[in-house]
Structure formats: C-alpha cells, structure tokens
Amino acid sequence: MAEFKRSGVADADIAAIISTAGVARGTFYFHFPTKEHVLEEIERDLVTRLARELARFVAAEPDVWSTLSEVVRLVLAAESRFGPRLFRDVLALHFSQTRPPGFGRPADHPLVALVAQRIARAQRDGVARSEADPENSALFFLLGFYALLVTNHDSKLVRGRVLDEFLESTRHGLGAR
C-alpha cells in the first residue's frame, strides 16, 4: 500500500510492491491480475473498517441525519490515513469501466447495508420518505459523496461547504414531506 500511497495507482511500481510483499511475481499476479484488483482489496478493507466504526456509532441509535454526517466524518478520516492520491484512486474505482467484475455489488457492501438500515429505520419513524428505496438511497448518497471527493480539489474549507450542502440536499430529498 505504501507504493500506491506514494505514487498513486497509475505510477505505482509493481516490482517494488512485489519485492516488499516478498512473494514471487507469478504469485502476486495470480492474486492481483491488475492494479484494479489491488485497489479492490484496499477498498474492501477500507469498507470493512468504516462499517465496523459506523456500527459502533449507530449502536447508540442516532437519527439518520447524524448517521450520514458520521459517514462523511469517517470517510474523510480515511482520506487522511490513505493520503489524497491513493484515496481518490480507491474511490474512483467505483466509477471505473475497468473495475473487476462483481466489484461493489450493494448486497456485498456493508457500508451500504448499514446506511440503508438507518434509512429504513427513519422511514418507520416517519422521518424519511416512505416511498424511497432504502438501498438505492444509500447507494445514491455514497456514490454522490464519493464522486464529490474524487472530483473536488478545492481547499478543505471550500470542500467542507460543498459537503455540507450535499448533506443538506440529501436531507431535503430524503426527508419526509
């Protein structure tokens, strides 16, 4: 991961990664035929960690809007750990035409599932629109959020305002009328 963090996926030196991993080239390529497969594994680990952290947060039964804000906070903290290049590469994989087959199916994504559960709970509580599909709403939220993070290169202050507006738009679109 250090090589991807240092240089980004496009410029990563696979030979350096293989050397650091201490495996044979053939073994490495058997497990990771492309750089996207490495990114998929990094993303899977990231999502597992985010879902675990979010599960601890939702155990206290916060409202759906606090939950969405916590997702934003957790993902931004991950950006700090990964560094901007690797972080954007991982998120951009969601929009890549060359991503590995089967990558990111909602049913296999614990973060989507947790957000969808909170939206469904908000619907039962009369806080979110009952006609909104919780899983689709969770996907729309996460993919929209990821797209903003991949494409927005503004200062943290400006990006923070954009993310605040995004959260408010999500609340407006999903909230009960």
Q: Is residue 54 part of a domain?
A: yes
Q: Is residue 5 part of a domain?
A: no
Non-local (6+) Cβ contacts of 118 within 8 A are 58, 64, 67, 68
pLDDT at 157: 95
Q: Is residue 3 part of a domain?
A: no
Span 98-152, pLDDT tens digits: 666 654 556 678 999 999 999 999 999 999 999 999 999 999 999 999 999 999 9
What's the pTM value of the predicted model, to 2 decimals?
0.84
Contact between residue 100 and residue 35 where contact means Cβ atoms under 8 Å apart: no
Span 6-62, pLDDT tens digits: 766 666 667 777 777 777 777 766 677 677 777 888 888 999 999 999 999 999 999
Span 72-102, pLDDT tens digits: 999 999 999 988 888 988 888 888 776 666 5
The CATH number of residue 142's host domain is 1.10.357
Q: Is residue 29 part of a domain?
A: no
> Hey, CA dihedral for 105, 109, 111, 113, is it positive or negative?
positive
Q: Is residue 21 part of a domain?
A: no
Q: Is residue 153 part of a domain?
A: yes
Q: How many domains does the chain have?
A: 1
Structural domain including 43 reads 35-174
Q: Is residue 26 part of a domain?
A: no
pLDDT at 112: 92
